[in-house]
């Protein structure tokens, strides 16, 4: 198999699904501190994929809205820099252990 330039790492993602319509009306809430998220729409032509940023704790969220129903919403927290680096380094140390055994 040709080696791709992208690598992959297993991650645990916190999410909220389904999102109640009451939450949707009052604004999306941070899973960590329950503050309201500042919502950004990175792509003007894709209104069902949003980024949310918590102004209190700084967490980032991907908000995915089913374009068919507009009520099936997933709010998923994007791992922060430290979590990403921890996940990558734990994958590297596992790979090293496997190579040592072989
Ligand atoms: Zn927060």
Please list the rounded mean pLDDT of every run of 10 residues in the chain (102 residues).
80 89 74 94 94 96 91 92 94 77 63
- Whether 24 is covered by a domain: the verdict is yes
- What pLDDT is attached to residue 5? 86
Paired tokens of 6: 């992208």
- What pLDDT is attached to residue 2? 62
CA distance 72 to 52: 17
Q: Which domain holds residue 69?
A: 15-101
Q: 97 C-alpha vs ligand 1 centroid, how far in Å?
A: 36
- Whether 8 is covered by a domain: the verdict is no
Our count of domains for the chain comes to 1
51 neighbors 40 (Cβ within 8 angstroms): yes
Q: 29 C-alpha vs ligand 1 centroid, how far in Å?
A: 8
Write the Ramachandran bin of 70: left for phi over 0, alpha for psi from -120 to 50, otherwise beta: left
- What pLDDT is attached to residue 24? 61
- Whether 1 is covered by a domain: the verdict is no
pTM of the model: 0.82
- Whether 5 is covered by a domain: the verdict is no
Rg (CA), the chain: 17
Neighbours of ion ligand 1 (CB under 5 A): 30, 32-33, 35, 54, 56-57, 59
Q: 102 C-alpha vs ligand 1 centroid, how far in Å?
A: 44
- Whether 95 is covered by a domain: the verdict is yes
- Whether 7 is covered by a domain: the verdict is no
- What pLDDT is attached to residue 3? 65
Q: 81 C-alpha vs ligand 1 centroid, how far in Å?
A: 15
């Amino acid at each position: 198999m040709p080696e791709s330039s992208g690598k992959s790492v297993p991650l645990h993602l916190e999410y909220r699904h389904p999102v109640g319509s009451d939450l949707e009306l009052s604004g999306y809430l941070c899973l960590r501190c329950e503050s309201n998220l500042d919502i950004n729409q990175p792509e003007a032509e894709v209104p069902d994929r949003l980024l949310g940023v918590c102004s209190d704790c700084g967490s980032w969220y991907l908000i995915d809205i089913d374009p068919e129903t507009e009520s099936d919403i997933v709010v998923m927290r994007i791992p922060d820099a430290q979590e990403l680096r921890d996940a990558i380094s734990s994958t590297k140390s596992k790979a090293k252990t496997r190579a040592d055994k072989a």
